Homo-oligomer: A and B are copies of this chain.
Amino acid sequence: MDQTCDVVVLGAGSTGENVADIVVRGGLSAVLVEPELVGGECSYWACMPSKALLRGTEVLAEARSVDGAAQAVTGEQDVAATLARRSSFTSHWDDSGQVEWVAGAGIDLLRGTGRLDGERTVVVTAEDGTRTRLTARHAVAVCTGSQSATPPIDGLGDVDSWGPREATSATAVPARLLVLGGGYVGCELATAWQALGSQVTVLQRGDRLLPRLEPQAGNAVAESLRKAGVDVRLGTEVTAARRDGTEVVLTTGDGEEFRGEEVLVATGRAARTSDIGAETVGLEPGEYLSVDATLQAEGRPWLYGVGDVNGRSQLTHMGKYQARQAGAAIVARARGERVGTGSWSPFVATADDVAVPSVVFTDPQVASVGRTAAEAEEAGLPHRVVEYPLGSVAGASLFADGYEGTAIAVVDTEREVLLGMTFVGPAVAELLHAATIAVVGEVPIARLWHAVPAYPTISEIWLRLLETYRG
């Protein structure tokens, strides 16, 4: 069967859905190709279930930290109810709601595995073997995302390990859980399962958790995980894995052994490009797609790589952002309109370079955007780092007895604008967007001085940081 449309979108995760939606709103036709659940990782095996697993633990910790309220928390978290709530947030891994949305948005959905077959062409193979050859008049957008990468550890491929998928969808609490990797996935899921009753061990090769963020973040999370009973091992290189009955056994170079019922491998991501026919258009299977600021593949103006698959910033919200920008570019180019490619134009993903926000939903939370001190240093930007304890702000003391946290601002001392901000502390997730707007808006420090934080909120930290910067 052959079919022609304006845009073919490979992958119906949140990124692909958004590309398809935007080009259809722009008057083009789109076919969305997906072999698994419509909605993708984020909806079923990442953001949504992990945050649902964590929320109960978070809110109970908050209630227990307010004298007067704490006395009302006399019971324990109902683990079965939390797992059920988690499952309801994934719609019990049923995508009919999203399928309905896709149809309502005027997007054609084609179930099956899509593979490029030369320029502007995608062949989709359905589960029953039916093949459809799609030809795109304007563009093919590859939004196949990323998958958990397996590190080269002897035997790891044979122990039936968990990836983030299994760790977010598990329906029983493993008595002991080994977590390989101390990035945000490992830290969040260690927090979640320890609180739900597992005895968790985190094995991190590097010397700190959350290595890409300000060091204060990983240090605070390590301390808190340890207080919660997690065995956090830094500088620990696992070299071998094996099954021993119902146990998984990990061994380090030093011969130390760690045992658990399950092992979660969360050591990084890999591009999902090994089975998309990359070779038919001269690209290397398994590699991230190299794209320009409009997410267009280099040398192939009909091809776009949007979301995790291009390796620019692997976060759901950044994939959706890229989808909005790429979608606008595809529509404009189809209309023969000029596509401005300067910074912050409506067609480019400038934020990928200077303002990627992220929140790690651990206890404490870590919310950050823009450059860390180390990144500013590396980029050779003239900068000053200002740090201030969050707990000294009235709003934080009211929020929780003994509130502890920190805020770290990186200021460009030449342009006098904010380059980056990191908040570490309970419930800092919603503080972040203010920093994102300040960084993206390049709001001068002298003007930020007039942005008064309401008293008594935790946001008053902005005043303290600015006062400290002014000296």
Which of A51-59, A115-123, A206-214, A258-266 lines the interface with chain B? A51-59
Contact of A89 among B51, B62, B397, B430 (CB under 8 A): B397
Contact A318 B452, CB 8 Å, known A55-B66, A443-B441, A462-B433 = yes
**Number of copies of this chain that the complex holds:** 2
Q: Is A103 an interface residue (CB 8 A)?
A: no
Interface residue tally for chain A (C-beta within 8 Å): 86
A63:B59 contact, CB within 8 angstroms: yes
Q: Kindly report which residue of chain B lies nearest to residue A401, judged by CB atoms.
A: B85
A432:B457 contact, CB within 8 angstroms: yes
Q: Is A296 an interface residue (CB 8 A)?
A: no
Q: Is A458 an interface residue (CB 8 A)?
A: yes
| Across-interface contacts of A135 in B (CB, < 8 A) | none
Interface residues of A in 390-420 (CB under 8 A from B): 394-395, 397-399, 401
Q: Is A453 an interface residue (CB 8 A)?
A: yes
* Bound Cα distance from A310 to B103, whole angstroms: 58
Q: Is A381 an interface residue (CB 8 A)?
A: no
B76:A72 contact, CB within 8 angstroms: yes
Min Cβ gap A444→B in Å is 8
Contact of A456 among B47, B427, B454 (CB under 8 A): B47
A317:B453 contact, CB within 8 angstroms: yes
A-B contact pairs, 14 of them (CB 8 A): A48-B398, A56-B68, A67-B84, A70-B81, A72-B74, A72-B75, A72-B77, A73-B75, A74-B75, A351-B452, A430-B457, A433-B451, A436-B453, A440-B443
Q: Is A198 an interface residue (CB 8 A)?
A: no
Q: Is A437 an interface residue (CB 8 A)?
A: yes
Min Cβ gap A64→B in Å is 9
* Bound Cα distance from A357 to B56, whole angstroms: 31
Q: Is A110 an interface residue (CB 8 A)?
A: no
Min Cβ gap A323→B in Å is 11
* Bound Cα distance from A79 to B441, whole angstroms: 45
Q: Kindly report which residue of chain B lies nearest to residue A57, judged by CB atoms.
A: B69
Scoring A residues 316 to 338 as 1 if CB is less than 8 Å from chain B, else 0, what string do you get?
11101100100000000000000
Q: Is A450 an interface residue (CB 8 A)?
A: yes
Min Cβ gap A402→B in Å is 12
Q: Is A109 an interface residue (CB 8 A)?
A: no
A437:B434 contact, CB within 8 angstroms: yes
* Bound Cα distance from A83 to B67, whole angstroms: 10
* Bound Cα distance from A351 to B394, whole angstroms: 22
B78:A68 contact, CB within 8 angstroms: yes
Min Cβ gap A407→B in Å is 12
